[in-house]
Structures are given as structure tokens and as C-alpha cells.
Amino acid sequence: MTTPNPQLANEMANAIRILAIDAVEKAKSGHPGAPMGMAEIAEVLWNRHLKHSPSNPHWADRDRFVLSNGHGSMLIYALLHLTGYDLPMSELQNFRQLHSKTAGHPEVGVTPGVETTTGPLGQGITNAVGMAFAEKLLAQEFNQPEHTIVDHHTYAFLGDGCMMEGISHEACSLAGTLRLSKLIAFYDDNGISIDGHVEGWFTDDTPKRFEAYGWNVIPAVDGHNTAAIDAAIKAAKAQSGKADGKPTLICCKTVIGQGSPNKAGTHDVHGAALGAAEVAATREKLGWTAPPFEIPAHIGEAWNAVARGQAVEQAWNARFDAYAKAFPAQAAEFKRRMAGDLQPAYAEKINAVFAEIAAKPDAFATRKSSQNALDAIAPLVPEFFGGSADLTGSNLTNFKGCVKAGRDKWGNHLSYGVREFGMAAIMNGIALHGGYIPYGGTFLTFSDYSRNAIRMAALMKLRVIHVFTHDSIGLGEDGPTHQSVEHVPSLRIIPGLDTWRPADGLETAVAWACAVERKDGPSALALSRQNLPRLTDVSMVTNIRKGGYILAEGANPQAIIVATGSETSLAMEAHKALAAEGISTRVVSMPCTNLFDRQSQTYQDETFPINLPVVAVEAAHPDFWRKYVGRLGTVVGIATFGESAPAKDLYQHFGITTERVCKEVRGLLSRQQDRLESKMPAGIVKSSN
């Protein structure tokens, strides 16, 4: 790390400003204000303190940096380019254009060095809480006396918008409770949001708020004074050496658009290009004479961190080699976990887990089946990190032998408190950091609270597992506020999210296995409160893994009944009742429509032959099922909110019954026959049979 002389430091900060100005001006789109206002903070942090290796963005012990105010994306793009990441100037020139590595908001997996996708305000700082928590847990689990291999900080930039979002309260309150002393956040207090000066709608005493959370707060730092910023960071980093160390909020007073002679300090510079005249005036004010997208050599050399990063990484590699000699098993486990690979024992034993689960004859609520699956799978997945938003006893996300994590205590299960949104975004941060596979539970209805974080997990392709119990009107007496109607269908249409609604214990265990094995996206499990009978046997595992499969059928079936979750047993009852009437049907269990839709067209056509009419049954909004039943099929569902009553009475009240399914199958077959007869040529006599 280097401390440049004041003149060079000023030039290095101005390089950030100019790159942001030029990129936004060329794109005619973007947010130059935050990069211009936070340039000095960025120079001090990235040039003097940040531990990173631009030539290896995935180095395990790097500091994590999160730009929570993601609209200021040119700030991080400028930093990544200047410090030597694989982000050439041509990409900055292509800012906000199709297929560039410099999207309007930072995207992990697209831009080397970007740690998380930010833009929805408040989620970046919450991801940072998850990253810092993962660092603390891994340090507690793997560090040994005289052998420290996990020792890094998490830094986050956030603005007034992040502070106003409710999720910042959820996450930062928990961060204080957990004493995440290696989390350092910089509050860009510029008093401006899109609508103008925030004093009309945001007058919180932010320092006192964070002090109440249990944070170390450094107030009133001049965000354009590099010495003051440097001193604040040093004081913040000192917290990690204290037994009772706290996360730190550095409150930086800045001027948005600093350097612009006519627009600095106004909302005009927040989310729009400066314009050619103001760009020229800003260059003149800053004394910047280089052409657009050119950095003077001495400034570029000062910024380049490749060699410094390689040296720091090599020193860590040497420490890790010593650790591996002293603790070979732990070193191998750490490498495996950070790579995201499952241990070999998992593949060897998972089928035995399925056999064990399938052998259970009793009827269980699938929330209990989920816990049974966790009990069996958890020994094979030591990287599990579970939790619940104050509903552990209902969600049943704890498992035999799990250890409750606390303030300064390692564990693999956390009580998140009533923080559904915070929990979901913290899990994203844990997954992004690496080393753990996070899952967390709440009631399905409250997925509404966490929905945008679920969406972000899908967008980022994170291995995160959401456990949603009490999945329908089947929860009964808690009434319509807690009864899910639209939630499963709406989750199914989030791109990249696998939504499971299993029918029994084995389907639940397979859902867990598929979620654990999946590296390219999140999964959601919608589970019942009420007991469900066993419907499957271990021979069906391969087909269950396809998301949808033929559960039962008679000879020469005349219709298909497709169902999920608690209604699958109802479909089976209808199948048997219709058989007694001489009507042969096929029952398709569809625990995961997303996975079924990824199967071959041949498999899908074999499961749903085009000539067979389809009745779908699910205690949820019916519209989703039109993609399977078609215009001529029928859906037995619920298109209204529920009621407060015992579950059995509710199913009867809303007509989600065996009798109703049978009636709909008969009606489909009758209408099908009528259509066929209406197309008969003249002279053909209608059969009386």
C-alpha cells in the first residue's frame, strides 16, 4: 500500500472523476455524481488499505469491496481499470452498452473484481454484512494458533438511499449484535437523492442510529480530506483487534459531483450526464488536460496495484502452505469449500439417504420431511449454514447436531430474528463470499418481504436455498394473511429460480439434493404444515430429479391429472375413484416445474401427450397451469384469498376436493367427445355407448 504526496493523491482522485464524466458523457446515460463525490474516499481505501490482487480477483483472502450505491458504477469501473484488473479502457468507453463489462449497475460474474450485483439500494450493504459474517465464521472454523489463513475486511460504500431503505436497518442491526468488527462502511453523506435535497424526507440522526445498533461510529469526516479519511480507516481497522470490536460506520460529508463548477452539490449531477459544456468546464477547473479516456502515465503507474497485489497474495500462499503442512485435512477442506465443490462422500451416500427417507411409512408434513432430509444430508454437507427468521420451530430448519451461531461463537445455524428481507440478502452475501451453502426459512407468504433478494440471488446465479413452510390454505386457522395463494406461481416465473413443492418425504429429500448440487442458481422449497401420505418409492428418484414425472397411470389413460405438493395425494385419490368408474387416468407429479421445463421436448411430450386432456390441481392461483393444461384443460385452484378455518374445512369450502377433480375429468372427457362428434361428417350415426 502506498501513500502518495498530496498533489499526486489529488490527481489520482481526479482520474476517477474524469473517467466517470467521460464514460457517462459518451453513453449519455449514468450517474456521475457519486463517483465524483467519493473520489478521495476511493483513492484512500483502494490505494492505501484495500488488500486485493487484480491479477487474481478470486483470491480467497482478499478484502471484499461492495458498492452498495450501485448507480455510481463508474466509480468501481474506474477503480478496477486503474488498479489493473482485466477491464481495459475500451470497456469503459463502452459503458452501459450491450454486452459490455461495464453495465449500468455492477454485475458479479460479468466484471472482474465486482463482488456482488448492486443497484436495488440497501442490498449491497446487506450483502456486505453476509460477507463479513462468512469471514468471521470461516476464521473461527479454520484458523489455528500461529496459522491464520482467513483474515480480511469487508468494505462498503453506501449513500442516503441505502440508509433510507428498511433493509439497512435489518442488516446493520444484526451486524452490530454479531460484532462484525471487520465490516467497515462508508456513508456518503451528500444530502442529495434523485428528487433533490433529502432534508425534506430524511432527517434521521444516522450516527446515533448506528451507535444504537452497536456500531463504532466515526462521525463528521471530511470526505474530501485524504488525511482525515486515512485516519478514520485506521481507527476502523483497529476494531478487529479488540475482543469486543464493532463494525464501523465512517460518516463522510461530501459534495455530490465535486469538481463540477456549476452542478456540484445539486441533484442535476446525480443521474444525468454533465453535458459537453460542463464537462469542459470541469476539466478546466480540475486542471485536467489529457484527452477523454486517457490517463497520464505517472497517474496510471501510481494507481497500478498488480505487483503489490501479487506480493500480498504470494505471502498468503506461503502462509497457507505452512498451514497445509501442519493441518493437511483442514487445508484440503478449506480449498474444497472455497471452490464450491461437494465432498466425495456426498455422491457416494446420497442414494442411501433417499432409500432411508423412502422407507419411512408414516405421513409427515413436508416441513417435517425437510427436517428429516436435513438430518440425513447435513453430515454430508458440512458447509451448510442454516437459519430462520424467528420461525425455527415452525420452519424446522435446524437439524441434529447443528450448532447455534452467536455474537462471538461459531455455529452453522443462525436465528436471524424477524428480518426476512435481511436474511435473504445476508444469505446472498454468505454465498458470494464462499465457504458455506446458506439456507434460511420463513413462511411462504412472507417471501414477499424477501422477494427482491430472491430475485437478486437468481440474477447472480447463487447457490442459496429458501425454505418456505405453511405453503397454502392448508395452514388453516391463521387465515388469509398467512395463507399463500399467488406465491408459488409467482416464484416459479423468476428466471433462474428452481421452485419445489414436493408431495412427500422422498420428493422433499430429492428437492434438497437438487438444491445442494446446483451451482448455478438458487432454489426455493414450498412445504406443507399438514401431514401428507407417502406416495413414492426409491425407484422414482431419477424421475423426481426431472422435476415432473408419471406417478401412476391406468391402462390406456383417457386424461391426465397433474398436481404438486399436498394436492398430489388428492390427485391420487381421484385417480382411484375414477378407475372405479371405468375412467383410466395418468397422474403426473410436478414438484418442480422449472426443472421439468428444462427436460428434453421428447420427455415433456411423453409425459403430457398432446391427445390427452389435462386437469391440474393445486391450492394456488390457477393461471400458471394454463401452460400445461392448455385452453381446453381445467385447473382446480383458488383465485381468491383464503379464510380462517381448519384446513379440511377450507379445502371443502374452496372446492379443492377429490370429488371436484373427478367432476372436472368427467367434464373434460364429455366436452372432448362433443367436439369430436361435432366434426363428424354428415351421415355418421352417433354411438350410443
Closest C-alpha to 39, from 82, 2, 5 = 82
pLDDT for residue 688 is more than 50? no
Using CA of residue 610, residue 614, residue 619, residue 625, what is the dihedral sign?
positive
Q: Is 199 a catalytic residue?
A: no
**Residue 676: exposure state from Cβ atoms within 10 A (0-12, 13-18, ≥19):** exposed
**Residue 684: exposure state from Cβ atoms within 10 A (0-12, 13-18, ≥19):** exposed
Tell me how crowded residue 677 is: count the other CB atoms within 10 A of its CB: 11
pLDDT for residue 168 is more than 60? yes
pLDDT for residue 681 is more than 80? no
Query: 218 forms bridges with which residues in the sheet?
Result: 250
The cell for 600 is 428434453
Tell me the pLDDT band of 648, cut-offs 50, 70 and 90. Answer: very high
The cell for 169 is 436497518
How much is the mean pLDDT over the chain?
96
pTM of this structure: 0.97
| Residue type, position 220, single letter | A
Residue 673 vs residue 398, higher pLDDT: 398
Q: What is the pLDDT of residues 316-327, one digit of tens each?
A: 999 999 999 999
**Residue 573: exposure state from Cβ atoms within 10 A (0-12, 13-18, ≥19):** middle
Query: Region 600-624: what's the mean pLDDT?
Result: 97
Q: What is the 3-state secondary structure (H, E, C) of 532-560?
A: ECCCCCHHHHHHHCCCCEEEEECCCCCEE
The per-residue pLDDT for 676 is 79
Query: 144 forms bridges with which residues in the sheet?
Result: 147
595-610: burial string, b at 16+ Cβ within 10 Å, e else:
bbeeeeeeeeeebbee
Q: What is the pLDDT of residues 344-372, one digit of tens each?
A: 999 999 999 999 999 998 999 999 999 99
User: How far, in Å, CA of 674 to CA of 128, rounded?
Assistant: 62
Catalytic residue of the set 135, 165, 170, 420: 420
- Order of strands across the sheet with 614-617? 549-553, 585-589, 559-563, 614-617, 634-636
Tracing cell 421436448 back to the chain, one arrives at 601
DSSP string, 58-75: T-TTPPEEEESSGGGHHH
Q: What is the 3-state secondary structure (H, E, C) of 187-201?
A: EEECCEECCEEHHHC
Closest C-alpha to 273, from 15, 28, 102, 78 = 28
Query: Region 471-487: what's the mean pLDDT?
Result: 95
Backbone angles phi, psi at 320, to 5 degrees: -70, -40
The residue count of the chain comes to 689
Helix (H, G, I), strand (E, B) or coil at 217: strand
